[in-house]
Structure 1
Amino acid sequence: MDQEKFDKGLETRKAVLGDEYVEKSLGKATDFTMAFQEYVTTYCWNDCWNREGLDRKTRSIINLSMLSALNRPNEFKVHCRGAVNNGVTKDEMREIFLQIGTYCGVPAALEAFKIAQEVFDEMGV
């Protein structure tokens, strides 16, 4: 493992998802799953999220769209929180979810609104 890339990815991961969530994920890692935590932190959070081509807010918008289309509610919830941390507003999320309804279907949009409301309530947004 490249420690420098891991550390940079960890910094980004915590900035987007929050220290508590990331520390909990890492703390629950076992000998079996730690390799995946290292992979996600290095590859996703450093090699992808730290690229210069898009800002974090844009990456969050893209993630919300893709995770909704793929019907990944657990990751959607995590990235909904990250989107708030990256400056995506409730009004912007509403528009994203309406767009999801058009291209991914009403059930996908309904789930997006439901999960986002839970996150807003938890975060006091």
Structure 2
Amino acid sequence: MDYFYDKELPSTSSSAPTSPEANTISCTLSMGDNNLSVNLADQTSSLDDIRSKVEQLVERINTSRSSDQKEIDTYQKELSDKLLDMCQSMKDQLFTVYEDNNVKIEEKLAELSEILSNCDQLYHELLEATQALSHLLH
């Protein structure tokens, strides 16, 4: 690949360009039959356009990420609130079940107490009968 530069380039030793054309560099790239001329001012303008578009893209990406983070934070808060509500509802249901069970347990304990009282009474009656029989046999 051969590079040929235009020999009519402005001098780089001048302190300030005299015209916009003086700030341009022409370059001819020769590749076989194809010649390509590049104007530095056009390239600079294109690079500035690309930089601007990239900056806008980065800004949109950052804005989108910020929006995503806000959405996630909102979702997390809502989910947390719902979870707290569900846990409180479960606690309430558990306490209701406990209260219902306590009533049933108290009924069963009262029944058991009555049965044990009857057993104790029967035991004492049996003990008395055994002692009476024992006195009769002796």
TM-score (norm 1): 0.18
Question: Which gives a bigger RCO, structure 1 or 2 (Cα 8 Å, sep 6+)?
Answer: 1
From the two aligned structures, give the one with the greater helix fraction: 1
* Bigger CA radius of gyration: 2
Q: Larger % of strand: which?
A: 2
TM-score by length of 2: 0.17
